[in-house]
A and B are shown apart, each in its own frame.
Chain A
Amino acid sequence: MAFLEIRAARREFNTPEGGKVAALDGVDLDVVANEFVTLLGPSGCGKTTLLRSISGFEALDGGSITLEGQDLSKLPPFRRPVNTVFQSYALFGHMTVARNVGYALEVAGIPKAERDAKVADALDRVGLSGMGARKPSQLSGGQRQRVALARAIIAKPRLLLLDEPLSALDRNLRQQMQLELKSLQHDLGIAFIFVTHDQEEALTMSDRIVVMRAGRIEQIGSPRDIYRHPRNRFVAEFIGETNLFFVTIDRIEGTTALARTAEGVTLMLPAAGRKAGEAVTAILRPTDFTLSDQGLAGTVTRAVYLGSDHYLFVQPEGGGQEIRITARDGLAADAGAKVHLAHDPSRVHVLEAG
């Protein structure tokens, strides 16, 4: 039995027009202990509703949620062994940082001396030692984030839920917090369920990613799995930059299948499972192409400098949509240059029927 089991979870909301829309449309998910799971999807995909169903702020219309064999659906939020880091942090403005952090212990009736020691420990853990006497309004955004985190872990929940907690931070701080969250999760040895719409965040931190769309799970897998082997076009386009080619297989040559788009752009695909005349979608990431002396001919239309890399838009000679590639600094080409693109057939991911 998995640590957390979600079965056929269903939740409907009334739309202003009087109709119904399913925020969760039959969601099944297992989370094992100590796992870092990310719910990823565009806004409105149901990821926050799923999180709130686990914390108890949304009641399911159907299905069940069990944590370590215990049915959660009958428990009010304050009886669930689960804590949440809220998107807005939701710090209590009228309390000091220390009282915010110790709140879970305070309402549980833990004596003050014991509480103070644990609060100091939790503040230390998130790097806010000595800030206990301040009010949340006297802290920076990053510090508030850490207070919210300390407050949520102090009662040692079995499962920590994080609702887009990093979305309000600037890029550098966000990347730093991503690594800190990951190591915190490792130290605490508890499961994290992290909600985000930022695919980069999901790839950096997760053991597994759950990609959601319109109340359904599109794919569950490791970050590498999701990135290299998306199950459908939605997942491919949502995770990372993607070049999609709608191709027809021309012929098979050994382990390589030669394929061609309607505009005549030719690609090499892995031959396994392919047969001539078949129509498939080929997925290549920008890093899968390299600039070369031969291969697909085209013209660079735009070159964007990204620091260590260049991001190039290449218009194939035969026509069709532009191909986006990344090239190392020093190996890149300028706009207007004629280039050839090579790719390794084994790196191409194939979707049968897009």
Chain B
Amino acid sequence: MAIRRQSLILGGLLAPVTLFLGVFFLLPLLIIALFSVLTPGLYGGVAWSFYHWNYGRIFGWADGIMEIYEPIYLQILLRSLGFAAMTVVLTLLLCYPVAFWVSRLPDSWRLVFLFLITLPFFSSLIVRLYAWLLILKPSGILNTVLMATGLIAEPMEVLYTPTAVVLGMVYIMIPFMFLPLYSAVDNLDRAQIEASMDLGATRAQTFLKVMLPQTLPGIIGGAVIVFIPSVGNFIVPDVLGGAKGLMIGNLVEQQFLSARNWPFGSALSMIIMTVVLTVLLVSVTRARKVSGHA
């Protein structure tokens, strides 16, 4: 009887979130999945008949009349994965040493630093990206300073290149990498580090054999949180990328908004999701195995 009542209460507590996610997450996802195998409507929207060419024009089968196979879509997908991977590596390299530094700060300074890390969230992403535009453009702050100091003779072409896109993504993703890393580093058991050195391990050995494995869950957590939104990001390439910095997110956006080919956009979305889900599953199972948590 008591158990029954408990499960009733639990059901009652979980119902709102289940309902919310069902209506606003699961249902749209199913619609996209369905649209991805439907025929594009003549003036946008969909026609209700099965149509596999949406995937065909991405992966290499097409009728050659209505739909043409273009390897560029796969290239853009690969480029997006590459950009996202670079963002993960760069944010990790930047944040990992800082996490150690912050975890050793006195309490009050630590709070100040953690506040500074979250400070960017207080202003609009678009505004911050346009600020980068001002920094990177040929007559911008970066080039002016470098030329004034005589380090370069001509303005560097940074804006509208892949470099600018990765730079922008690294910038917006730093807090997402830093926080899980910091939490892992802060939870390191100092006694274990001492035990390692006590048993004859050098600082480098201690780092590789004790500190790195113990912070691995944080590294993987940060990597996943940075990788997923980076793959599908379309705002950064939109503002800083130009044609060479186009990412798969821009492609989806174009298909839904300007090309009005909803089924093709849906198919692209499903591919992003499949790739991201695979990365997530592999990394989570791997983290479990290494960190030894059941």
Contacts and interface: CB of A to CB of B under 8 A. Distances in A.
A203 to B, nearest CB: 28
Interface in B163-220: 189, 191-192, 194-203, 205, 209-210, 213-214
A42 B191 CA distance: 22
Given A86-B191, A107-B209, A94 B291 contact: yes
A90 B192 CA distance: 5
Interface residues of B, number: 21
Contacts of A204: none
Given A93-B214, A107-B205, A107-B209, A151 B199 contact: yes
B292 interface: yes
B290 interface: yes
B109 to A, nearest CB: 15
A108 B200 contact: yes
A55 B292 contact: no
Given A92-B210, A94-B213, A94-B290, A107 B191 contact: no
Nearest to B290: A94
B199 A94 contact: no
Contact of A78 (B201, B209, B214, B290): B201
Contact of B197 (A76, A135, A151): A76
A13 interface: no
B194 A90 contact: yes
B285 to A, nearest CB: 16
A248 B95 CA distance: 72
Q: Which of B191, B199, B201, B214 has the most CB of A within 10 A?
A: B199
A94 B292 contact: yes
A260 B121 CA distance: 79
A255 to B, nearest CB: 54
Interface in A74-102: 76-79, 82-84, 86-88, 90-95
A92 B195 contact: yes
A235 interface: no
Contacts of A135: 292
A155 B195 CA distance: 13
A90 B200 contact: no
Q: Which of A79, A82, A92, A95 has the most CB of B within 10 A?
A: A92
A107 B197 CA distance: 10
Contacts of B195: 84, 86, 90-92, 151
Contacts of B292: 93-95, 135, 137
B191 A78 contact: no
A93 B213 CA distance: 10
A135 B291 CA distance: 11
Given A86-B191, A88-B191, A94-B292, A104 B199 contact: yes
A108 B196 CA distance: 12
B191 A155 contact: no
A83 B199 CA distance: 6
B214 A103 contact: no
B177 to A, nearest CB: 22
Given A88-B191, A93-B214, A94-B213, A103 B196 contact: yes
A57 interface: yes
B211 to A, nearest CB: 11
Interface in A141-187: 151-152, 155
A170 B203 CA distance: 35
A76 B273 CA distance: 51
Contact of B201 (A87, A107, A152): A107
A107 B200 contact: yes
A78 B192 contact: no
A68 B203 CA distance: 26
A92 B198 contact: no
A225 to B, nearest CB: 32
B194 A57 contact: yes
A90 B189 contact: yes
A86 B292 CA distance: 22
A45 to B, nearest CB: 21
B198 A77 contact: yes
Nearest to A86: B191
B294 to A, nearest CB: 9
Contacts of A103: 196, 199, 201, 209
Interface of A: 55-57, 76-79, 82-84, 86-88, 90-95, 103-104, 106-108, 135, 137, 151-152, 155
17 contacts: A77-B194, A78-B199, A78-B202, A79-B200, A83-B199, A84-B198, A86-B191, A90-B194, A91-B195, A94-B214, A103-B199, A107-B196, A107-B200, A107-B209, A108-B200, A135-B292, A151-B195
Interface of B: 189, 191-192, 194-203, 205, 209-210, 213-214, 290-292
Given A93-B192, A107-B205, A151-B195, 10 more contacts: A56-B197, A78-B199, A84-B195, A86-B191, A87-B191, A93-B214, A94-B214, A94-B291, A103-B196, A107-B200
